[in-house]
Structure 1
Amino acid sequence: MPDMPSLNIIVAVAEGRRLYAALEAGVAAAALGRPVRIFLQGEAAALLRDPVRFAGDETRRAAGQPDLAWLIEEAVAMEVALFVCQSGMALVGMAATELVPHVRAAGLVSFMAEVGVEDRLIVY
C-alpha cells in the first residue's frame, strides 16, 4: 500500500494492559501494511524489561489469547518499531542491556520528530 500514514503510539502509563492494547493496535495496523512505532514513556519503560511479565498473562492464556511476551515477539516480527524512553529507563533503574531484544532506547523529542503531518498519533 503506497505511502500509508504511519501509526505512532505512546504508552504513557506503566500498566501491562495499556501496552497490550497498544501492541494489539500496532500489530493490526502493521497487518494492514501501515508502518508502526511504539514509544514507552517514563515508568512505562519497565514494561519492556526482559523477561517480560504481565499480571494479566494467565487470564489471557486461559482464554486462548497470547501473553504479553508473545505479543511483543509478534510485533517485532511484523516490523513494529519499539522504543523506550531513555529518561524513563533511568527513572526505573534500568540499563539498555535489560531490554527485550530489538527494542531501542530513544528520547521523546526524537520520537516526535519522526511523526509526519499525515501520520496518526495515539497515547495510551
Structure 2
Amino acid sequence: MPRMRGLTILVATADATRLRAALSTAAAAAALGGRVRLFLHEEAVPLLADLDDPDAAWLATAGLPDRAMLLAMVRESGVELLVCQSGLALAGLAMDALPADTQAGGLVSLLATLGEDRLLAF
C-alpha cells in the first residue's frame, strides 16, 4: 500500500456532532497510516474540556463510541491534538483542563506546518 498523505482536520465551531465526526474521521485516517492532526479553533476548544456526550446512551444502542471513547481512540492511534490559543483565552481555559498531550498553537503555525497534508474543515 502506498504511503498515505497526512491529514489535518480543523474543527471550527462548538458543535459536538461535528467534533464527533472529526474524531471519527481522524481515527479512520490514523488506521490507514500517515500523520493525522486535529485542530480545534476558537469556540470549538471547550469541547475538549467537557466530554459528556448527551448522545452516549443512544450511540451505545447501535454499538457506536461516544466522544470520550473516540478521543481515547485517536490518542491511542497517535493523532496530534492541537487547540487554538485564542480559543483557550476566550473560554478562560488552561491547558491542564484539556486531555494530556494536547498542544496549543494558532492558525499560522498550523498552516506553516501543513506540508503535503490534506486540510479538512468541520
Deviation at 1:9, TM superposition (A): 0.4
Q: Which one of 110, 120, 123 corresponds to residue 121 of structure 2?
A: 123
Deviation at 1:3, TM superposition (A): 4.7
Work out the CA distance in 1 between the residues paired with 2:45 and 2:76.
20
Gaps of 5+ in 2: none
Instruction: In structure 2, give the amino acid aligned to 1:61.
Output: A
Identity of aligned residues (%): 46
Gaps of 5+ in 1: none
Work out the CA distance in 2 between the residues paired with 1:41 and 1:85.
5
After superposition, give the CA deviation of every residue in 1:69-95 in whole Å (9 maximum; x if it has no partner): 011011000001111111001111111
Work out the CA distance in 2 between the residues paired with 1:55 and 1:113.
36
The TM-score normalised by the length of structure 2 is: 0.92
> What residue number does 1:85 align with?
84
Aligned residues: 122
Work out the CA distance in 2 between the residues paired with 1:32 and 1:11.
21
The TM-score normalised by the length of structure 1 is: 0.91
Q: Secondary structure at the match of 2:100?
A: coil
Contact 2:10 2:41 (C-alpha < 8 Å) held by counterparts:
yes
> What residue number does 1:99 align with?
98
